[in-house]
Structure 1
Amino acid sequence: MSVQVGIIMGSKSDLHIMKDAADVFKEFGVEFEMTVVSAHRTPERMFDYAKNAAERGLKVIIAGAGGAAHLPGMVASITVLPVIGVPVKSSNSIDGWDSILSILQMPNGIPVATVALNAAKNAGLLAVQILSTADASLAVKMQAYKDELRKKVEESALEL
């Protein structure tokens, strides 16, 4: 199986958040790659990554960034692949709102799917759902995952 998802982050300090997406892919058996790509400090690296992602076989890119959080939007402006943005509450953040709004408020024509602050797990799950539209075995795994969530809620309701 080839790598299907790229997980990128603006800084290694975002790894403690972005690893949650990697954990989802390990659980679902989805091949992924993970690296640091800074929109501000390594713009050429970002451009090359985004421009070549589809031809390298990637199907989805998850981009996590804090502060000004330009990485997801800039990558989305270069690639035809779906990009999922993860706003990260960084040390220089304004309670994460700067990251959220930077990723969420993309101009028309450059969509970025945006998950909640620090919600790399949801980004991973959304990427699996995107991939499952063309992979029946992944769709079965996703349905089992959702069935388990439902079961846990029903068990909690019975306990009350």
Structure 2
Amino acid sequence: MKFVSILMGSKSDYDIMKYCTDTFEKFDVKYEIIISSAHRSPKRTTEYIKNAEEKGAVAFIAAANMAAHLAGVVSATTTKPVIGVPMEGGVMDGMDAMLSTVQMPAGMPVGTVSLGKSGAINAAYFAMQILAISDKELAVKLKEDRITQAKKVETDSKSIEVIL
């Protein structure tokens, strides 16, 4: 069974990462989600990654704030794609998490999305694009979703537009 694995550094990340799981559910994409900290539970984190790979995880999404080492630990533990979602909060209001997630050493890539709700949603879309490489049905759903998004822009514009 193919699925996407979501790891969060703490329970407080769930309020934002719920947008990620909601997006997967909208497209009928299977996922697992756990709380595991790079710092407070490193053994749990590495054991989970190994087990998830054995069960069929195709990609990993890691959400964390402050030092945000979770995505890096995941990347160091797997050769599967890793998507980092830096979380807002802390002294630097998420900028420290953004920099920690995006500044990875060569050979340890983490695809990093934006902070907040749009980052959680885009992490799901990015993971689904990875899955869609070998899942034609999901690829069609994603193309249809793009058409729907474009139509919404046109509809929203028509409700307010003034063109001379």
**TM-score computed with the length of structure 1 as normaliser:** 0.95
Q: CA deviation at 1:50?
A: 2.0
Unaligned runs of 5+ in 1: none
CA contact (8 A) 1:3 1:33 kept: no
- Identity, % of aligned pairs? 47
Query: Quick check: 1:10 aligned with 2:9?
Result: yes
Equivalent residue of 1:55, what SS?
helix
Aligned to 1:112: 110
Q: CA deviation at 1:47?
A: 1.2
Q: CA deviation at 1:3?
A: 5.2
Distance of 2:101 and 2:50 partners within structure 1:
19
Aligned to 2:27: 28
Aligned to 1:50: 49
Q: CA deviation at 1:156?
A: 2.6
Query: Quick check: 1:72 aligned with 2:77?
Result: no
Equivalent residue of 1:150, what SS?
helix
Aligned to 1:146: 146
Aligned to 2:132: 132
Query: Quick check: 1:158 aligned with 2:158?
Result: yes
Alignment of 1:84-123 (within 5 A): 84-90=83-89, 92-118=90-116, 119-123=119-123
Q: CA deviation at 1:54?
A: 1.7
Task: Look up the equivalent residue of 1:52 and give its one-letter code.
Answer: N
Larger radius of gyration: 2
Unaligned runs of 5+ in 2: none
CA contact (8 A) 1:53 1:79 kept: no
For these two proteins, the number of residue pairs brought into alignment is 158
Distance of 1:77 and 1:93 partners within structure 2:
27
Flag the 1:125–1:93 CA change in 2: closer, same or farther, 3 A. Answer: farther
